Structure 1
């Protein structure tokens, strides 16, 4: 087993285990921390897949933005709200969760079927990419190419998304403030 395979299995185990912990734990603080670990493990998997830009985006947007927003919402929540959430009946499987469990089971069945039936080495588009030498090498500068395209060809959509994210952040800050306070 090579070092890359070992790192892949390690990162995949960390991602799956921490995601299961996030879903199963009752403690919100531990859940948020393990979500942080899950997002970093996913970024590690992206690095191993030679998707360096996606890994950087994962860390900057999800870890740096979304997770910090979740932490702020948790910290700004009143004690009454947190106690009410903690007192909810928490059963892992109950009748209210049956549609979600059925849907998750169907997705798992489809995923397993695709994994066992696909022959990734003999797919037509992969063979074509290998024949035309249109493959990503570890020495390719994909982040540089994406950065140049974002600042030239795709500048308007990039700025539109940044304005949309800023509006979402302002909306989240407005929703998290206390009812009696004024700005």
Structure 2
């Protein structure tokens, strides 16, 4: 149990540190690669929470799909656009960012208070579920059911999402190419 706690704190620190680097960095390419590290750390946290399917989905969809789209966007963007973005003046705290900072601080205060006061094992509905034996045990059957449902009942929405991502990639490529002067 102690090793799991150590792994949790390491992965949480990596996720938070890399996410802060993504938010604070002026170099867009480094931000994208640190976003890659953030997503992998989140996948590791899902594995520790015994959510293997969610971890694999995190890696396949976000790391394999969304992050590749972001990298393609940077590769297809003109050098002038990237230079203009990187040379924008940005201070960590200024008056324009004050509402966002206040909301973020309020969110973290509320989240801290709720997590501090919550005792998950003492909730009535958890006690009733444990007493009745209505608890899902982690095994391969749920993952198998998800796979079967994804490839049968939900195949059409799955394919529609893949076509939507492909259209987004084509749209990004079209918007980023330079217009030819006549």
State the 1:82 CA deviation: 1.4
- Which residue of structure 2 aligns with residue 15 of structure 1? 15
The 2-side partners of 1:134 and 1:159 are apart by: 34
Structure 2 length as normaliser, TM-score?
A: 0.90
Gaps of 5+ in 2: none
2:98 paired with 1:109:
no
The residue correspondences of 1:129-148 to structure 2 (distance < 5 A) are: 129-148=129-148
The 2-side partners of 1:156 and 1:142 are apart by: 21
Root mean square deviation of aligned Cα:
1.9
The 2-side partners of 1:15 and 1:62 are apart by: 15
Kindly tell me: are residues 62 and 4 of structure 1, through their superposed partners in 2, closer, same or farther at Cα, counting changes over 3 Å?
Answer: same
CA contact (8 A) 1:52 1:142 kept: no
State the 1:149 CA deviation: 1.5
The 1-side partners of 2:144 and 2:179 are apart by: 46
State the 1:92 CA deviation: 0.3
CA contact (8 A) 1:50 1:136 kept: no
The 2-side partners of 1:125 and 1:159 are apart by: 38
State the 1:138 CA deviation: 4.0
Structure 2 residue matching 1:141: 3-state secondary structure: helix
Gaps of 5+ in 1: none
Count of aligned residue pairs for this structure pair: 181
The 2-side partners of 1:161 and 1:147 are apart by: 16
- Which residue of structure 2 aligns with residue 127 of structure 1? 127
State the 1:128 CA deviation: 2.9
Structure 1 stretches (4+) deviating beyond 6 angstroms? Answer: none
